[in-house]
Amino acid sequence: MASSNWNASHIAALVVALVAASGYAWLAAGTLPFTAAADAWSAVPFLLVAALAWRAGRRSAGRDAVTLGVGSVTRLRAWVVAIALFVALELGTLFAEPRRRFPTASALLDSFDHSRPNKALVFLLWLLLGWALVGR
Amino acid sequence: MTRPEILGLWVAVVAVLGGCQVLALVDRRHFAGITELLHRLTCSAPRRAVLLLGWMWLGWHLFAR
């Protein structure tokens, strides 16, 4: 019973966090690049995630014994290839001209997030990535 | 190369990234999923710090600049 109560409160906390993050992403998506407002709305998650990372680092001090052994590298080989392809295409397009003909990943994202809902979605995904890096 | 060809390459790369996760779901014994990848990448403090700096740069690049 206690376990199901904990699960319910855990799910409720996740829903509240997701709603709050979505609201924050919507407000942040209303700013324009190269403005103080855009700097500020991006800086707040920096500070929050940095604080979470610092706390997680203190908690796990001395437990960083997981290393990339041969077995784990073998298990990750598909990701290594996929990420290498991504980086190669990004670098190839980054140093090619004109940008319209050779779009980079961020140029494609720029054309996607011209509308506020799309920009809010990208911002939310960025927040979730930050949480995935420190919140586990 | 033309723009449609470059866009096709981007679609292919995204498909390969998605395929990695599908591969992990199909054959969990031999292939790691995104969760394990993140765990492996963030399991030591220096690696986590580098990834966090990359994440911060990405946000600044996409939204502030």
The 10s digit of each residue's pLDDT in A102-131 is 999 989 998 888 899 999 999 999 999 998
Task: Give pLDDT, residue A4.
Answer: 53
Q: What pTM does this model have?
A: 0.82
Find the helix packing angle between A77-94 and B3-26, rounded to 10°.
Answer: 170
- Smallest CA–CA distance, residue A120 to chain B, in Å, is 10
Residues of A in contact with B32 (CB under 8 A): 72, 75-76, 78-79
Q: Which of A41, A75, A94 to mutate to test the interface with B (most CBs of B within 10 A)?
A: A75
ipTM of model: 0.89
Task: Give pLDDT, residue B14.
Answer: 96
DSSP state of A102: S
Contacts of residue A94, Cβ cutoff 8 Å, sequence gap at least 6:
A104
Task: Give pLDDT, residue B32.
Answer: 93
The 10s digit of each residue's pLDDT in A41-86 is 999 999 999 898 888 777 766 555 555 555 667 889 999 999 999 9
Q: Does pLDDT of A1 surpass 50?
A: no
Task: Give pLDDT, residue B46.
Answer: 87
Task: Give pLDDT, residue A71.
Answer: 63
Q: Does pLDDT of A35 surpass 70?
A: yes
Angstrom distances, CA of residue B30 to CA of A72, A122, B35: 9, 32, 15
CB contact under 8 A, B20 and A136: no
User: Which residue stretches of chain B have pLDDT < 50?
Assistant: none
CB contact under 8 A, A103 and B62: no
Nearest-angstrom CA–CA distance, A23 and A40: 16
| Pairs across A and B, CB distance < 8 A | 116
